[in-house]
């Protein structure tokens, strides 16, 4: 990969997706090499040219998938779900008791484990009252591939093994003749999957009560992160909560939210 080829790739990733790979040539090369060898393209230049001409965005999507990680699992960073169950949901239940409509967003949902975990926790919390509330979880990602997987909702035995037994029994069914587990339809109906690039303006009519923005900002540089956090703040209800990955940080000066814990933030106006 020549320096010019690398430049074209990292500039595209940066300008369209906020993904900063400018200091990671070896990683980029390492991840694309095999793909190129098995493809019809002789050189990176040929591949990049084809990608630029491909108005369907398929090649670009493929490249983003190869360069980012979709790693996720059920109940990842369980403290967040405990906090949701013990603090956030009781607070929202009290506050939104008239409209009974909650906007909860898993903003880089990957293959669905995070939004399905949210939907399970919400279901458990509201119990029999759930029918009287609209608590659908919106789940978005830029990768079409992971979104298709998420919507199918089929996971291996290994992927569901850490789930509490009662959740596994209640929300999953074993796919006949396999060791795979499928999310039951009634839980699938509680999650809406959509393609969305976090670099774009938020398309929602309503403001959010809870946003999970976890383990995606690792790709973004300081400026991109700052703009994204501001955008999410503006699109959030007063009193709403933002969860970020436990290894991620937001610069204090760039953060309009009040920090509750190291990865949990609250929008509190007029403080
Ligand atoms: C490591 S996964 C995080 C999954 C889940 N939030 C978690 O914490 O387990 C990161 C996801 O971010 C997505 N992603 C990367 N850049 C994005 C962007 N600009 N807009 C939306 N999603 C993006 C990737 O496709 C990937 O599925």
pLDDT tens, residue by residue, 249-265 = 998 887 999 999 989 99
Q: Is 216 in the pocket of ligand 1 (CB under 6 A)?
A: yes
Average pLDDT over residues 90-103: 95
Residue 143 above 90 pLDDT? yes
Structure tokens at 54: 């491909």
Cα(158)–Cα(123) distance, rounded to whole angstroms?
Answer: 23
**Local confidence band at 54 (pLDDT 50, 70, 90 cut-offs):** very high
**Local confidence band at 122 (pLDDT 50, 70, 90 cut-offs):** very high
Q: What pLDDT score does 254 carry?
A: 79
Q: What pLDDT score does 253 carry?
A: 84
Whether 72 is in a domain gets the answer: no
User: Looking at the structure, do residues 16 and 106 belong to the same domain, yes or no?
Assistant: no
* Strand 180-183 relative to strand 154-156, pairing: antiparallel
User: Looking at the structure, do residues 125 and 255 belong to the same domain, yes or no?
Assistant: yes
Q: What pLDDT score does 52 carry?
A: 92
Q: How far is the CA of 69 from the centre of ligand 1 (A)?
A: 7
Q: Is 20 in the pocket of ligand 1 (CB under 6 A)?
A: no
User: Looking at the structure, do residues 250 and 194 belong to the same domain, yes or no?
Assistant: yes
Q: How far is the CA of 131 from the centre of ligand 1 (A)?
A: 31
User: Looking at the structure, do residues 89 and 188 belong to the same domain, yes or no?
Assistant: yes
**Angle ∠(136,138,142) on CA atoms, nearest 5:** 160
Q: Is 77 in the pocket of ligand 1 (CB under 6 A)?
A: no
User: Looking at the structure, do residues 90 and 175 belong to the same domain, yes or no?
Assistant: yes
In terms of residue numbers, what domain contains 213?
78-266
Sequence length of the chain is 271
Q: Is 114 in the pocket of ligand 1 (CB under 6 A)?
A: yes
Q: What pLDDT score does 252 carry?
A: 85
Q: How far is the CA of 246 from the centre of ligand 1 (A)?
A: 15
Look at ligand 1, atom 25, and give the residue with the nearest C-alpha. Answer: 143
User: Looking at the structure, do residues 95 and 29 belong to the same domain, yes or no?
Assistant: no
User: Looking at the structure, do residues 169 and 206 belong to the same domain, yes or no?
Assistant: yes
User: Looking at the structure, do residues 154 and 249 belong to the same domain, yes or no?
Assistant: yes
Whether 97 is in a domain gets the answer: yes
Q: Is 135 in the pocket of ligand 1 (CB under 6 A)?
A: no
Ligand 1 atom nearest the C-alpha of 110 is 27
Residue 64 above 60 pLDDT? yes
Helices 44-53 and 58-67: crossing angle in degrees, nearest 10, is 130
The CATH number assigned to the domain holding 52 equals 1.10.155
Question: Among the three residues 19, 39, 67, which one is the final residue of a domain in this structure?
Answer: 67
Q: Over the chain, what is the mean pLDDT?
A: 94
Whether 195 is in a domain gets the answer: yes
Q: Is 141 in the pocket of ligand 1 (CB under 6 A)?
A: yes
Q: What pLDDT score does 271 carry?
A: 53
Considering its fold, how many domains does the chain have in total? 2
Ligand 1 atom nearest the C-alpha of 18 is 19
Q: Which residue is it, tokens 């933002």?
A: 242
Whether 271 is in a domain gets the answer: no
Q: Which of 81, 117, 141 to mutate to test the pocket of ligand 1 (most atoms within 8 A of CB)?
A: 141
Average pLDDT over residues 63-82: 95
> Which of 111, 211, 204 is CA-nearest to residue 152?
111
Q: What pLDDT score does 173 carry?
A: 97
Q: Is 198 in the pocket of ligand 1 (CB under 6 A)?
A: yes
Question: Among the three residues 67, 96, 112, which one is the final residue of a domain in this structure?
Answer: 67
User: Looking at the structure, do residues 125 and 258 belong to the same domain, yes or no?
Assistant: yes
Whether 237 is in a domain gets the answer: yes
Whether 148 is in a domain gets the answer: yes
> Which of 162, 179, 161, 163 is CA-nearest to residue 171?
163
pLDDT tens, residue by residue, 181-196 = 999 999 999 999 999 9
Q: Is 70 in the pocket of ligand 1 (CB under 6 A)?
A: yes
Residue 269 above 80 pLDDT? no
Q: What pLDDT score does 7 carry?
A: 96
The CATH number assigned to the domain holding 246 equals 3.40.50.150
Q: What pLDDT score does 195 carry?
A: 95
H helix or E strand, kind and range, residue 213: strand 208-213
Whether 73 is in a domain gets the answer: no
Q: What pLDDT score does 206 carry?
A: 93
Question: Among the three residues 67, 86, 109, which one is the final residue of a domain in this structure?
Answer: 67
Q: What pLDDT score does 270 carry?
A: 62
User: Looking at the structure, do residues 41 and 60 belong to the same domain, yes or no?
Assistant: yes
User: Looking at the structure, do residues 162 and 111 belong to the same domain, yes or no?
Assistant: yes
Average pLDDT over residues 168-173: 96
User: Looking at the structure, do residues 111 and 192 belong to the same domain, yes or no?
Assistant: yes
Q: What pLDDT score does 259 carry?
A: 95
Cα(108)–Cα(77) distance, rounded to whole angstroms?
Answer: 15
Residue 32 above 60 pLDDT? yes
Q: How far is the CA of 147 from the centre of ligand 1 (A)?
A: 11
């Amino acid at each position: 990969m020549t320096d010019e080829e690398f430049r074209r790739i990292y500039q595209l990733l940066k300008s369209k997706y906020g993904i900063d790979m400018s200091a990671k040539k070896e990683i980029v090369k390492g991840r694309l090499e095999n793909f190129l060898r098995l493809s019809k393209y002789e050189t990176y230049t040929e591949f990049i040219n084809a990608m630029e001409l491909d108005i369907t965005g398929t090649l670009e999507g493929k490249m983003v998938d190869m360069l980012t990680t979709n790693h996720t699992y059920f109940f990842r960073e369980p403290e967040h779900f405990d906090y949701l169950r013990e603090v956030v949901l009781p607070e929202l239940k009290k506050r939104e008791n008239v409209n009974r409509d909650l906007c909860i967003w898993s903003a880089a949902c990957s293959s669905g484990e995070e939004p399905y975990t949210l939907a399970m926790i919400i279901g458990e919390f509201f119990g029999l009252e759930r029918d009287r509330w609209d608590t659908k979880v919106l789940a978005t990602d830029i990768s079409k591939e992971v979104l298709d997987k998420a919507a199918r909702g089929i996971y291996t035995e290994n992927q569901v093994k850490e789930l509490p037994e009662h959740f596994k029994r209640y929300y999953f069914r074993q796919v006949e003749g396999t060791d795979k587990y499928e999310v039951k339809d009634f839980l699938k109906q509680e999650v809406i999957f959509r393609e969305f690039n976090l670099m774009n303006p938020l398309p929602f009519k309503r403001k959010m009560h809870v946003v999970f923005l976890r383990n995606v900002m690792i790709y973004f540089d300081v400026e991109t992160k700052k703009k994204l956090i501001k955008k999410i703040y503006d699109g959030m209800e007063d009193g709403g909560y933002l969860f970020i990955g436990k290894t991620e940080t937001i610069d204090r000066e760039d953060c309009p939210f009040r920090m509750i814990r190291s990865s949990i933030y609250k929008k509190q106006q007029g403080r």
